[in-house]
Amino acid sequence: MKLQKFSPWNWFKSEAHENPGSPVPVSREVEPSTTGISPLWQMHRDLDRWMDDTLRQFGMPSLGERSDTLSTFLRPSIDIAERDDEYRISVEVPGVEEKDVKLSLDDHRLLIEGEKRQESSTREDRYQRVERAYGSFRRVLDLPEDAKVDDIQATFNNGVLTITLPRDASVQPKRREIPIQKH
């Protein structure tokens, strides 16, 4: 049995340390802390921010901001599947056109960037609330050592970007088992 399969690679370690692109807020509601309603509200926001930062340090997705009172930002969801011969990465970008998505490599990091543009509207439209996110996004994935970066392929279909990343079988993981001996 191969134990390295149970030790997941931290794909998001660089993303946690980067300041992602500046997404555009969906709505601009007045937060209670700016109106002096409750100092408890500010403490709640600080605790949420601390928890999000802590989760990101361990490569886990953050809890996100509460969409009922805070601005929501565009952040595509990513699924990463590991197979014996490849990694398959799916990025959900609904409402984004293929021409507005850009993939690039920076050393051994895969950068996924793009922009969701707002469609035009007429002056007769009087929106009460808009819950769609518009703006730019950026995701950074740290690639494992066995990733063949020269052979990356990507396809785009129905708002899903699929990235296929072949694995190099000759690269052995640096992890090894240490036998435990009895006294």
Whether pTM exceeds 0.85: no
Cα–Cα distance measured from residue 148 to residue 108, given in angstroms and rounded to the nearest whole number = 10
Q: How far is the C-alpha of 131 from the C-alpha of 120, rounded, in Å? A: 16
pLDDT value of position 116: 85
Dist. CA 40–CA 45, nearest whole Å = 9
Residue 75 corresponds to which amino acid? R
Number of domains the chain contains: 1
For 157, the domain range is 74-120+132-171
* 144 inside domain: yes
Per-residue pLDDT of the chain (183 residues; tens, 9 = 90+): 444 444 456 777 777 666 544 333 333 334 444 555 577 777 877 888 888 888 777 766 666 543 333 333 578 899 999 999 999 999 999 888 999 999 999 988 999 999 987 665 566 777 777 667 678 889 999 999 899 999 999 999 999 999 999 999 888 767 778 889 987
Residue 30 counted as domain residue: no
Q: What is the CATH number of the domain that holds 150?
A: 2.60.40.790
**Residues forming a β-bridge with 86:** 166
Secondary element (H or E) of residue 176: none
